[in-house]
Amino acid sequence: DELVSQIAAGEVVERPASVVRELVDNALDAGAAEVGVKLLAGGIRSVLVEDDGAGIPAAELALALRRHATSKIASLEELERVGTMGFRGEALAAIASVSELSLLSRTADAPHAHRLDARSGELAPAARGTGTSVEVRELFFSTPARRKFLKTESTELAHCTEALRRHALARPDVGFGLWHDGKPLQQWRRSSPEQRLAQVLGEDFIGASRPVALDLGVLRIAGRTGLPEAARARADHQYVYVNGRHVRDKLIAHAVRAAYEDVLHGGRQPAYVLFIEIAPERVDVNVHPTKTEVRFRESREVHQAVRKAIEAALAVPRA
């Protein structure tokens, strides 16, 4: 089973940023209002994610580390309309198979917290408030071939920061903090959606962009898109969310590009952040461990809507 978990880990865990993504997913699923991410050496030495969510009962700590153990899906039908970010029930098991992982957690009604060390299985009383801390140390320590593929600390840190940014943009109602080697790097306080965009992408992004808003009932698009002349410096910041989930989608990227075609004159694609809300039965969400892909039932309509929404934001005259 250890080997099976390590193979699964190959799919789930590429680098410290994958650990950040999975642990923050879990914190948000647990209803956290505040999430702290503390990294050592770009996350290679340690990723610690602390939340003030519901916590895990002591009796269930060991279960949380077992493969295909998830508390989030009760039936196959439920799998069809997944409301939570993680549901495969394999992230913690996979990460634990290629690291030194410990869980420290306390539920609201527990007299104190418990700590579980994944490798030894040792469960001990511990202190903390309600919520969960997951610490992942020495990623790939037992698989040097994988560890070899990690880049420099600063590159891994940049990937971790990006992973957190993706969560932070989608959840302005949650506060996020990021520390590296003991130094605070980011503090994104709970705020409005617009303020969160400014916090994460910079105040200048607001002035250099226009609001996007389109409501077709079954399909709603919100967000901001960069002005062609102003936002070129941030061309790498292109974020698309479908029903709250960060996705990479060629169809949407193409629709945005089409909208900019008439105004860009060969310049670089500006930054944009789009939140698409669509009836769940009109989209298939395929959450591969390392990327999220979507397939829209009516892809032409979605393409047209995104293009129209961006053109309206930029006030591009329609041909």
132 binding ligand ADP? (CB under 6 A): yes
Residues 48-77 that bind ligand ADP (CB under 6 A): 51, 53-56, 64, 69-72
Q: Which is nearer to ligand ADP, 151 or 288 (CB)?
A: 288
CB atoms within 10 A of CB 307: 21
- Cα separation of 160 and 15, whole Å? 9
CB atoms within 10 A of CB 85: 21
26 binding ligand ADP? (CB under 6 A): yes
User: Contact, 35 vs 174, CB < 8 A?
Assistant: yes
Q: Which partner in Mg ion, ligand ADP, none is near 13 (CB below 5 to 8 A by kind)? A: none
**Residue appearing with tokens 């030194």:** 100
Q: Which partner in Mg ion, ligand ADP, none is near 260 (CB below 5 to 8 A by kind)? A: none
Residues touching ligand ADP, count (CB under 6 A): 23
Judged by DSSP in three states, 136 sits in strand
104 binding ligand ADP? (CB under 6 A): no
Angle at which helix 16-29 crosses helix 153-170, to 10 degrees, equals: 20
Stretch that binds ligand ADP, among 47-55, 167-175, 203-211, 271-279 (CB under 6 A): 47-55
Judged by DSSP in three states, 114 sits in strand
Say which DSSP state 30 is in: T
Q: Which partner in Mg ion, ligand ADP, none is near 71 (CB below 5 to 8 A by kind)? A: ligand ADP
9 binding ligand ADP? (CB under 6 A): no
Q: Which partner in ligand ADP, Mg ion, none is near 221 (CB below 5 to 8 A by kind)? A: none
Residues 83-102 vs ligand ADP: string with x where CB under 6 A?
---xxxxxxxx---------
Say which DSSP state 230 is in: T
CB of 90 to ligand ADP, least distance (A): 6
Judged by DSSP in three states, 149 sits in coil
Q: Which is nearer to Mg ion, 42 or 86 (CB)?
A: 86
Q: Which is nearer to ligand ADP, 91 or 273 (CB)?
A: 91
Q: Which is nearer to Mg ion, 50 or 311 (CB)?
A: 50
- Cα separation of 319 and 317, whole Å? 6
Q: Which is nearer to Mg ion, 26 or 46 (CB)?
A: 26
- Cα separation of 90 and 66, whole Å? 7
Amino acid at 14: E
Q: Which is nearer to ligand ADP, 55 or 226 (CB)?
A: 55
- Cα separation of 98 and 9, whole Å? 7
- Cα separation of 199 and 190, whole Å? 10
Q: Which is nearer to Mg ion, 43 or 226 (CB)?
A: 43
Positions touching ligand ADP (CB under 6 A) are 22, 26-27, 30, 51, 53-56, 64, 69-72, 86-93, 132
